[in-house]
């Protein structure tokens, strides 16, 4: 009897702690939603349970002639799609070579990737700015895409190579005996079998431009070219037009779809990370 009670108290305490965590997690998220529904622009007069519910900020984002929100959405989608497609292509090519071939510089290359992925891209910002300037790619979405695609290589090549390593070599040897060439093995064996990890790479490169504000804020100058993150950041960073409620509305519209997709796919990410990172 005593033992049963102890167990019940324990379970109750566990649920209590989980409930506490739920509150801690939900509070800021719900608060953001309620901010976005508060009329007026000021953070100060807004309250958690608005006296008047209003969708004016959402309406403003989509209909006001002053609002560039749809344009930013379009820019972000363009950068995201190009980044996802190009990243998968370049990364898969590199990972295939590193996983299946012996060549001079293979080890050095792997080591280079590992060291490079540790360096924060921020450290290279000044040089990237000057380089893009020299190439006349400053203030251009293609310049931004170029930097994203190049910058993701070290980390993702490592991830995809780890996954390729888990595909049995017997498969590509068999294909070679059947007469498949280098490209044949790559396109008909490796790519189809590596779909899960390639999907993860595509997805994360698709989502990155929606949430990164640092690089675009340095590369892009013209508000017409802004991506969502830069545009939204300017809603609140502008000292004279601090507009938190509008920022909240705009953020929810990007955070919600990203969160949903993410929740569906995080399992693949975890298995990809542990496969590529530790087991190799």
According to CB under 8 A, which residues from 88 to 127 bind other proteins? 90-91, 93-94, 96-103, 106-107, 109-112, 114-120, 122-127
Q: What residues numbered 187-226 form the site for other proteins, per CB under 8 A?
A: 207, 210-214
Is the separation of the CB atoms in 207 and 194 below 8 Å?
no
* 4 is a site residue for other proteins (CB under 8 A): no
Taking the CA of residue 1 as centre, how many other CA atoms within 13 Å lie in the half-sphere pointing to its CB?
0
Distance CA 71, CA 22 (A): 36
- Residue 243 interacts with other proteins (CB under 8 A): yes or no: no
Residue of 80, 138, 254, 272 interacting with other proteins (CB under 8 A) = 254
With respect to other proteins, which residue has the nearer C-beta, 68 or 190? Answer: 190
The nearest distance, CB 65 to other proteins, in angstroms, is 26
Nearer to other proteins (CB atom), residue 78 or residue 262? 262
Q: Which of 82, 84, 146, 194 binds other proteins (CB under 8 A)?
A: 146
Among 48, 70, 171, 174, binds other proteins (CB under 8 A): 48
Applying the rule CB under 8 A, the residues between 24 and 43 that interact with other proteins are 24-26, 28-29, 31-32, 35, 43
The number of residues in the chain equals: 280
Angle at 190 between CA 196 and CA 110, to 5 degrees: 85
* CB nearer to other proteins: pick between 145 and 225: 145
Q: Is 174 in the site for other proteins (CB under 8 A)?
A: no
What is the total count of residues that contact other proteins (CB under 8 A)? 100
Which one of residues 160, 226, 247, 249 is an interface residue with other proteins (CB under 8 A)?
247
> What are the helix (H) ranges across the chain?
2-36, 56-63, 69-100, 106-116, 125-134, 141-166, 169-177, 182-185, 191-193, 195-211, 214-219, 228-237, 244-274
- Nearest residue to 144 via CA among 213, 91, 199: 213
Please state the separation of Cα 155 from the chain's center in Å.
13
- Give min distance, CB of 199 to other proteins, in A: 17
Contact criterion met (CB below 8 Å) for 156 and 162: no
Contact 53, 272 (CB under 8 A): no
């Amino acid at each position: 009897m005593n033992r049963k009670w102890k167990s019940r108290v324990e379970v109750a305490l566990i649920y209590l702690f989980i409930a506490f965590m739920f509150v801690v997690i939900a509070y800021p998220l719900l608060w953001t939603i309620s901010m976005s529904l508060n009329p007026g622009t000021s953070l100060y007069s807004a309250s958690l349970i608005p006296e008047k519910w209003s969708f004016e900020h959402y309406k403003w984002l989509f209909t006001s002639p002053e609002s560039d929100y749809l344009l930013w959405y379009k820019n972000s989608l363009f950068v995201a799609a190009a980044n996802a497609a190009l990243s998968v292509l370049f990364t898969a090519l590199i990972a295939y070579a590193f996983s299946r071939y012996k060549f001079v510089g293979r080890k050095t290359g792997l080591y280079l990737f590992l060291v490079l992925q540790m360096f924060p891209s921020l450290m290279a910002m000044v040089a990237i700015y000057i380089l893009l300037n020299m190439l006349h790619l400053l203030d251009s979405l293609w310049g931004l895409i170029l930097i994203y695609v190049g910058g993701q290589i070290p980390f993702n090549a490592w991830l995809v190579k780890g996954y390729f390593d888990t595909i049995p070599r017997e498969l590509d040897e068999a294909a070679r005996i059947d007469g498949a060439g280098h490209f044949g093995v790559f396109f008909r064996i490796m790519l189809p079998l590596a779909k899960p990890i390639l999907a993860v790479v595509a997805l994360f490169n698709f989502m990155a431009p929606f949430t990164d504000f640092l690089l675009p804020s340095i590369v892009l100058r013209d508000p017409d070219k802004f991506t969502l993150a830069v545009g939204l950041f300017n809603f609140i960073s502008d000292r004279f037009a601090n507009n938190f409620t509008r920022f909240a509305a705009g953020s929810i519209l990007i955070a919600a779809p990203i969160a949903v997709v993410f929740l569906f796919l995080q399992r693949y990410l975890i298995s990809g990370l542990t496969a590529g990172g530790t087991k190799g």
